[in-house]
Structure 1
Amino acid sequence: MSLVLDAPIRQEYEYTVAAPSLRAADPVLPLARRAWQQGWLRKTFILILLAALWELLARWQANDLLLPSFLQTGQAFVDGIISGELLDRVRVSLSVLLQGYVAGIAAAFALTALAATTRIGRDLLETLTAMFNPLPAIALLPLALLWFGLGKGSLLFVIVHAVLWPLALGAYAGFQSVPDTLRMAGRNYGLSGLRFVLHILVPAALPPILSGLKIGWAFAWRTLIAAELVFGTTAGQGGLGWYIFQNRNELYTDKVFAGLAAVILIGLLVEDVAFRPLEMLTVRRWGMQR
């Protein structure tokens, strides 16, 4: 007789599984705190605070000849825009600046590309930057006047000098920091000379190049204004620096401050409209910069 063993029957239990607890939603921040997290709003607040301090200081001093108030300067700025005088001076300055800036970029790129591909080019760049980079561009203005005369040529000469060396140094430092693996990859694809620079070195060194472009722009802008303060007329028209100089001679201090405000506003616009979107589209988008 065969013995059949049945498996023991376990008692069944029913467990109720609780639903997973939902993570508490992030608390809704107050409107003021959410607004304060916006960078543009914080900067606007700083500008308003500076304008208020300026107005209070001018009213306390009570001397329009030395320090006009913010409201007086704003009125002079608006009047200059409406009459078209200030806009014409800005147009003349930006036209000269753009020509000199582009020429300086081209010269810096040619010099840096030569330095990145040949030994003699590297020695040339190091020697020239050591000689001319410490030399202020405005110090060359007497020579520029002697060589090119009273006009646009002298302004372009000092602007190119202001742009060339900081941009060349920034680009060359970026080229030097390119990893050897990228260089070997480019050579494995048969790249050399200008193609090697454009396809390998320039994309890898983009953050230092953009920094050099911003520094070159700042140097060029203030060099142009300083040069226009000295002579400033090109083809019978004066630029923004000449506008400031003329109004200083005629003791229109509010117009002097309006011209200085135009210089500052143009600098802010170039930074926020030109360079910042360019960084967002390139180095920040690719994770090359925070």
Structure 2
Amino acid sequence: MSDSALAPTARHVLPTLGPGARRLVLLVALALGWELYARWLGNSLLLPTFLETLAALWENLRNGELPERVRASLAILLSGYAIGIVLAALLTALAVLNRWGESLLGLLTAMFNPLPAIALLPVALLWFGIGGSSLIFVTVHSVLWPLALACHAGFRAVPATLRMAGRNIGLTGPAYIVHLLIPAALPSILSGLRLGWAFAWRTLIAAEMVFGASASEGGLGWFIFTNRSQLETANVFAGLLTVILIGLAVETFVFATLNRFTVQRWGQEA
């Protein structure tokens, strides 16, 4: 039988679902796999079931513990993320407008991008002490370099003809960057923002697990660490699940929306 004769049958067997529906099906399958494996393992100290984790999540939401930890983490994360974006924009603009700036950006990224942000935590503690400032410092480091690299790579990929067209209509300096380079390089910029967010989020959680400022001020990482110390494994997994859910929410409602209303609408993505 020919492939063309089998194609309609395959299409009927595998229903066509939208991206959101496919993601939901996969999430349900992963949760079911977690539940079945945890029940087969039969040791809640090592791996609580998905339902036990949901119960712990609900309890910590109800008593206000988890919302306060999330608020503390997101406040630090957003501060560090915003500062990182501003610094990356300044460095990239300097690299675009000046050869010395380009050399500076290349040198700094070669030096600091391979350096894990968590490795700077002892230095941050010496400079800023125990508190949110140290966490913001390492968060900025985790955002700055991948975002600057992505933006610069996007700018360099702008076609020469488009650059010449911008010059011919009188675009120079900051106007050249804002009105020509940024729209043309937007796919790379959004990729850099995604990477920066992911790096910042995981760096912050790891840093909070090393120290959380104090038991009353710590964020999600501190919540996970303290519950691990008390062998409250269901709470640990509730904290980890919260980290995952926040990441999914940001990707779905922030970056996917930005991509849909810019890159896809402007025809820059297939």
TM-score, normalization by structure 1:
0.87
Q: Give CA deviations for 1:51-77 in whole Å, capped at 9, x if unaligned.
A: 122112212221111111111101000
**Take 1:252 and 1:49, find their aligned partners in 2: how far apart are those partners?**
26
Is 1:100 the counterpart of 2:80? The answer is yes
**Take 1:64 and 1:234, find their aligned partners in 2: how far apart are those partners?**
28
Aligned-pair CA distance for 1:32:
8.5
Distance 1:32 1:44, change over 3 A: farther
Is 1:237 the counterpart of 2:217? The answer is yes
Contact 2:215 2:222 in 1 (8 A): no
Equivalent residue for 1:168?
148
Q: Residue 135 of structure 1 aligns to which amino acid in structure 2?
A: L
Once the two structures are superposed, the pairs formed by residues 42-191 of structure 1 within 5 Å of their partners are 42-191=22-171
Aligned-pair CA distance for 1:236:
4.4
Gaps in structure 2 of 5+ consecutive residues: 1-7
Task: Select the structure that is richer in helix.
Answer: 2
Equivalent residue for 1:253?
233
**Take 1:37 and 1:62, find their aligned partners in 2: how far apart are those partners?**
35
For these two proteins, the number of residue pairs brought into alignment is: 262
**Take 1:211 and 1:123, find their aligned partners in 2: how far apart are those partners?**
23
**Take 2:143 and 2:136, find their aligned partners in 1: how far apart are those partners?**
11
Contact 1:152 1:235 in 2 (8 A): no
Equivalent residue for 1:275?
255
**Take 2:194 and 2:220, find their aligned partners in 1: how far apart are those partners?**
21
Distance 1:287 1:31, change over 3 A: same
Distance 1:32 1:41, change over 3 A: farther
Q: Give CA deviations for 1:211-261 in whole Å, capped at 9, x if unaligned.
A: 000000000000000000000226941100000001001110000000000
Equivalent residue for 1:4?
none
> RMSD over aligned Cα, in angstroms?
1.8
**Which one has the largest radius of gyration?**
1
Contact 1:151 1:235 in 2 (8 A): no
**Take 2:126 and 2:109, find their aligned partners in 1: how far apart are those partners?**
24
**Which has the higher mean CA deviation after the structures are superposed, 151-160 or 56-65?**
56-65
**Divergent runs of 4+, >6 A:** none
Contact 1:171 1:205 in 2 (8 A): yes
Contact 2:208 2:219 in 1 (8 A): yes
Q: Residue 82 of structure 1 aligns to which amino acid in structure 2?
A: R
Alignment partner of 2:197 out of 217, 237, 252 = 217
Aligned-pair CA distance for 1:278:
0.4
Contact 2:81 2:197 in 1 (8 A): yes
Gaps in structure 1 of 5+ consecutive residues: 1-26
Higher relative contact order, chain-length normalized (CA < 8 Å, sep 6+): 2
Distance 1:68 1:83, change over 3 A: same
Distance 1:115 1:40, change over 3 A: same
Q: Residue 154 of structure 2 aligns to which amino acid in structure 1?
A: G
**Which has the higher mean CA deviation after the structures are superposed, 79-88 or 52-61?**
52-61
**Take 2:216 and 2:227, find their aligned partners in 1: how far apart are those partners?**
17
**Take 1:47 and 1:185, find their aligned partners in 2: how far apart are those partners?**
47
Q: Residue 50 of structure 1 aligns to which amino acid in structure 2?
A: L
Contact 1:152 1:234 in 2 (8 A): no
Q: Residue 73 of structure 1 aligns to which amino acid in structure 2?
A: T
